Amino acid sequence: MKPKVCVLRTDGTNCDRETKYAFNEVGGDAEIVHLNSIIKGYDPAENRQVSLDQFDILAIPGGFSYGDYIGSGKIFVVDLKHFLEDKINDFIDKRKPVIGICNGFQVLVKYGLLPRVNGEIKQTTTLTYNDSGRFECRWVKLVQPRESKCIWTKGISSIDLPVAHGEGKFVAPPDLIQRLFDEDQVVFQYANSSGIATTNYPDNPNGSIQAIAGICDPTGLIFGLMPHPERYNRPMNHRLATLQKIKGTLPDHGLGLDIFRNGVDYCRG
């Protein structure tokens, strides 16, 4: 059985093809579906009816939805809440996995699907402008503070991934930050070359509080992160791939795929 994946795009999304590719590489059956098609229930490109409940996984990929003109992901969130709130609530109630990458993470946070304190869907955190004041595009090291409940990161204690964002600084009140750590909802932190979580630039590319790079909801099924696992879909994607090849340490697959594989495997049971 190939779990069906909805890669939900809208105007300004630009990482949908890589995300579809990543899911398909690990045994998923991914489709890129425009938000308007889900809203109308009809995909004109495929000439068929389409609905969110046809899918097993929802992926909101990276990009600059609606140009990020009034804040990253904000207009996307307004459309989702206005047109699809009941459908999304039903999707979550059925315990179907959701992943948001970069702009998708911003969407999940501003919608309130993350971190879902006490299971309540309302915005309690945000992702704001990088401390550097500019767009950051670089490879970073990520570590798990301890094994989290997140189904997407099973077996991944650390990983290198690229970032590409201008508003990736995770911000939340101190008591909420502590709660996220206490309840194992902090999935990834930015780390230095020694694998130690850090708030120092450039290892932490945006100044996120407590170096937070990704979080999950209390169920571990909804996951958001700023770095792009879909861009590490082949071994030679890595910035040090040539050196790894010389040393004989080049992996046999792009390690970013492991995140997508975990989501697909969960659906397969």
Q: Which CATH number does the domain housing residue 172 bear?
A: 3.40.50.880
Written as one string, the DSSP assignment of 134-199 is S-EEEEEEEE-SS--S-GGGTT-SEEEEEEEESS-EEE--HHHHHHHHHTT-EEEEEE-TTS-B--
Please tell me the predicted confidence (pLDDT) of residue 205.
98
Query: Can you give the pLDDT at residue 194?
Result: 97
- pLDDT attached to residue 68: 84
**Largest distance between two CA atoms of the chain:** 53
Confirm if 18 and 233 have CB atoms less than 8 A apart.
yes
pLDDT tens for each residue of 198-253: 999 999 999 999 999 999 999 999 999 999 999 999 999 999 999 999 999 999 99
| pLDDT higher than 80, residue 70 | no
Nearest to 102 by CA among 217, 237, 231: 231
Look at residue 89 in the predicted model and tell me its pLDDT. 96
Continuous segment of H or E residues that includes residue 98? strand 98-101
b (16+ CB within 10 A) / e for 126-162: ebbbbbeeeebeebbbbbbbeebbbbbbbebeebbbb
With beta carbons less than 8 A apart as the criterion, state whether 230 and 5 touch: no
Average the pLDDT over 252-269 and give the result: 97
Overall average pLDDT of the 142-159 stretch:
95
Mean pLDDT, the chain, rounded, equals: 96
**Per-residue pLDDT at 30:** 98
- Report the pLDDT value the prediction gives residue 115, as an integer from 0 to 100: 98
Mean predicted confidence (pLDDT) in 99-126: 96
- In which band, very low, low, confident or very high, does the pLDDT at 154 lie, cut at 50, 70 and 90? very high
Q: pLDDT class for 69, splitting at 50, 70, 90?
A: confident
β-partners of residue 190 are 142
Going by the DSSP 8-state scheme, the letter that residue 253 receives in this structure is S
Specify the pLDDT at position 147.
84
pLDDT band at 119 (very low <50, low <70, confident <90, very high): confident
pLDDT at 255 over 80: yes
What average pLDDT does the segment 142-156 reach?
Answer: 95
Q: Is 268 helix (H, G, I), strand (E, B) or coil?
A: helix
Beta bridge partners of 98: 58, 222
Instruction: State the total domains in the chain.
Output: 1
pTM: 0.97
pLDDT (tens digit per residue) in 162-202:
999 999 999 999 999 999 999 999 999 999 999 999 999 99
pLDDT of 112: 97
Residues marked active site are found at 102, 228, 230
Q: How far is CA 158 from CA 163, 167, 189, 206, 255, in A?
A: 15, 23, 9, 19, 10
Residue-range definition of the domain harbouring residue 166: 4-268
* Pair of tokens at residue 22: 């990543």
Average pLDDT over residues 52-81: 93
Q: What mean pLDDT is predicted for residues 112-134?
A: 95
Q: Which strands form 57-60's sheet, in the order they lie side by side?
A: 29-34, 4-9, 57-60, 98-101, 222-225, 212-216, 186-191, 136-143, 158-165
Measure the CA–CA gap between 81 and 69, rounded to whole angstroms. 18
Q: What is the pLDDT of residue 267?
A: 98
The helix (run of H) or strand (run of E) holding residue 25 is helix 16-25
The rounded distance, in Å, linking the Cα atoms of 41 and 31 is: 15
- The pLDDT of residue 18 is 98
Q: What is the pLDDT of residue 45?
A: 83
